[in-house]
Amino acid sequence: MPRPTSLSIDLNALSNNAATTRRLVGNSKILASVKANAYGHGLTRCSEALNQKVDGFAVAFCEEAVLLRQQGITLPLLLLEGPFDREDVDAIKEYDLMMVVHSHHQIELLQKSACPLTSPVWIKIDTGMHRLGFSPAEAPSVAQRLHEMGASSTILMTHYGEGEEPASALTQEQQRAWQTSTHSITSATSAANSAAIINTLAPNTDWMRPGIMLYGAAHSDPIGASLEAVMSFRSEVMAMRHILAGDTVGYGGRWRAQRDSTIATIPVGYGDGYPRGAEDGTPVWLQHQCVPLVGRVSMDMITVDVTDFAGCHIGTSVELWGKHLSVNEVAKHSGTIGYELLTRLTGRVPVNYHL
């Protein structure tokens, strides 16, 4: 018999979140971000579920896009990091991919490869994150050069570094830089990731790029979008024991019982992607209530205090995160973010898809 730890992916919730996103973005097109294995949810299955709900897909690099093409996805596909080498350029031509251009090195690569620029070329503008992109001052000459190389059309894009905080200094600075760029070039535009969509930072852009909100794990929901968690990370209680006040639990004896206590062991650990950094008190959902994690996370097991949980037994259902417990809440207790928890799950956890 397999151990009871698994992932459940609710494709109906994914579709519902896409429909909610569609209502929020109005007439803008939706480019769904499915990079990093669809944020840990499964690249192919999620893209197939979204195929009739969105206008295109965004991936990080070429291999992800080629896989989608080979699986029959025909919608526009955007490479967010653009081409790395000549092999990527050849794949862009063969599979009819859109690409982001963020450096002069890439422009030179395209020119040397004589790549026909028949699909829209996305020009990355660095408005303040300082990872990738051209400065707003460079953007007009970059657009001109691409048109001279035969680009049929261009799309200006940027990325907010603090979209969850519309009033922050960084967001305000980026908005000013973005306005400067878009006023100097006649082009389609794209500036909104999930946080920017939810906080209406770029309401009039042509393409919206939702990611984490599609999977129901956005940091906040100030507009009451009521997004649904798509992933549920589940298990069951495998063992129980009673300990005395003063006894410790787990590696290093980090947690010490302040009273006689009942401890339940659950067969999941950092070998599955549950965060080893989870602190004592991290919530774990058991059947109908949250109980606290106690002791260090092991490779294959965690332990929780069920002293105040009436009726807990071997086989009691557990949710590590999902419909009842937000992945962001677990992340907050683990010194990380929900994105990381979703995307670092390991291959030994079985995945079940359902509608």
Per the listing, tokens 């569609």 go with 22
Would residue 35 show up in a list of annotated catalytic residues for this protein?
yes
- Which candidate in 39, 124, 160, 251 is catalytic? 251
Would residue 160 show up in a list of annotated catalytic residues for this protein?
no
Is residue 91 within 8 A of residue 113, CB to CB? The reply is: no
Report which residue type is found at 243: I
Query: In sequence order, what are the beta bridge partners of 156?
Result: 123, 189
- Which candidate in 35, 160, 270, 339 is catalytic? 35
Map the chain to HEC letters.
CCCCCEEEEEHHHHHHHHHHHHHHHCCCEEEEECHHHHHCCCHHHHHHHHCCCCCEEEECCHHHHHHHHHCCCCCCEEECCCCCCHHHHHHHHHHCCEEEECCHHHHHHHHHCCCCCCCCEEEEECCCCCCCCECCCCHHHHHHHHHHCCCCCEEEECCCCCCCCCCCHHHHHHHHHHHHHHHHCCCEEECECHHHHHCCCCCCCCEECCCHHHHCCCCCCCCCCCCCCCEEEEEECCEEEEECCCCEECHHHCEECCCCEEEEEECCCCCCCCCCCCCCCCEEEECCEEEEECCCCCCCCEEEECCCCCCCCCCCEEEEECCCCCHHHHHHCCCCCHHHHHHCCCCCCCEEEEC
Is residue 283 within 8 A of residue 290, CB to CB? The reply is: yes
d(CA 215, CA 9): 10
Active-site residue numbers?
Answer: 35, 251
